[in-house]
A = this chain, B = another copy of it.
């Protein structure tokens, strides 16, 4: 297994973003078809867009459909071009399971993983943060997801301590954990610019914001960028377009110099 001989994930993606002049993380989710076809589809999407993106994110459905070996080959190709790769696992298990899952992803060849801070630290994410950082793996903490129902959990107000009467939004607590746990990124949906703004106040410059939800889900790049987003996770708006390369290029341009 690889050791932490390279720069932290946060620095690697920033470098990539600067050299490509793009804040776009391409989300590749392929799962309807035979493994070989899906792998070719994924490679095709990457090839068409790689001039305009700074990283690639995969969902679990893709690995479940094409298998770990083919995923490894795919990642190796992508990383060969100097890109980082993210597995969107939304990890939320007990420590031993989290560590085993993270280790499996490191072996497959991922550079970063998303985790859900709701899990808690002790016997939860503590060992995963330690293990991941020892192996040069980045950790992106969910702070507020992009779908409407996210308000049920991420948007709820939580009582601070047993004797207290003060409450605080869950996502603010998660943002503070992201800073405290030294996460390499925080995921905040582009669909809620006010939340991005508030999260940025807590995260400052130490934890960059990754925002999904642009395009298909309705979030707008310029508004979200102004609110504090550092990277945009874009899937369907690019991958389902007639010309993914052209659309990615447009997104990249807006992500660097917004029209405002």
A120 near B153: Cβ-Cβ < 8 Å = yes
Task: Kindly list chain B residues whose C-beta atoms are within 8 Å of the C-beta of A206.
Answer: none
SS class of chain A's interface: helix, strand, loop or mixed? helix
B156 near A61: Cβ-Cβ < 8 Å = no
B31 near A100: Cβ-Cβ < 8 Å = yes
Please classify how large the interface on chain A is, using the bins under 10, 10 to 19, 20 to 34, 35 or more. Answer: 35 or more
A121 near B152: Cβ-Cβ < 8 Å = yes
A149 near B124: Cβ-Cβ < 8 Å = yes
B64 near A105: Cβ-Cβ < 8 Å = yes
B61 near A104: Cβ-Cβ < 8 Å = yes
A125-156 contacts to B (CB < 8 Å): 125-126, 145-153, 156
Asked if A202 CB lies within 8 Å of chain B CBs, one says no
Task: Kindly list chain B residues whose C-beta atoms are within 8 Å of the C-beta of A260.
Answer: none
Cα A150 to Cα B116 with chains together (Å): 12
Cα A85 to Cα B61 with chains together (Å): 19
Interface hit among A48-56, A89-97, A220-228: A89-97
B59 near A100: Cβ-Cβ < 8 Å = yes
User: Shortest beta-carbon distance, A128 to chain B, in Å?
Assistant: 11
Asked if A232 CB lies within 8 Å of chain B CBs, one says no
A97 CB contact (under 8 Å) in B61, B101, B150, B153? B61
Central interface residue in A65, A118, A159, by most chain B CB within 10 Å = A118
B101 near A61: Cβ-Cβ < 8 Å = yes
A149 near B167: Cβ-Cβ < 8 Å = no
* Copy total for this chain: 2
Asked if A204 CB lies within 8 Å of chain B CBs, one says no
Task: Kindly list chain B residues whose C-beta atoms are within 8 Å of the C-beta of A61.
Answer: 97, 100-101, 103-104
Task: Kindly list chain B residues whose C-beta atoms are within 8 Å of the C-beta of A101.
Answer: 59-61, 64
Cα A255 to Cα B48 with chains together (Å): 57
A200-223 contacts to B (CB < 8 Å): 217
User: Shortest beta-carbon distance, A131 to chain B, in Å?
Assistant: 13
User: Shortest beta-carbon distance, A90 to chain B, in Å?
Assistant: 5
Task: Kindly list chain B residues whose C-beta atoms are within 8 Å of the C-beta of A123.
Answer: 147-150
Task: Kindly list chain B residues whose C-beta atoms are within 8 Å of the C-beta of A94.
Answer: 145-147, 217
Central interface residue in A88, A120, A158, by most chain B CB within 10 Å = A120
Q: A64-B101, A121-B149 are in contact. List 17 more A-B contacts (CB 8 A).
A: A29-B97, A59-B93, A59-B97, A60-B89, A60-B97, A60-B104, A61-B97, A61-B100, A61-B104, A63-B64, A88-B97, A94-B146, A120-B150, A122-B147, A123-B148, A156-B158, A159-B167
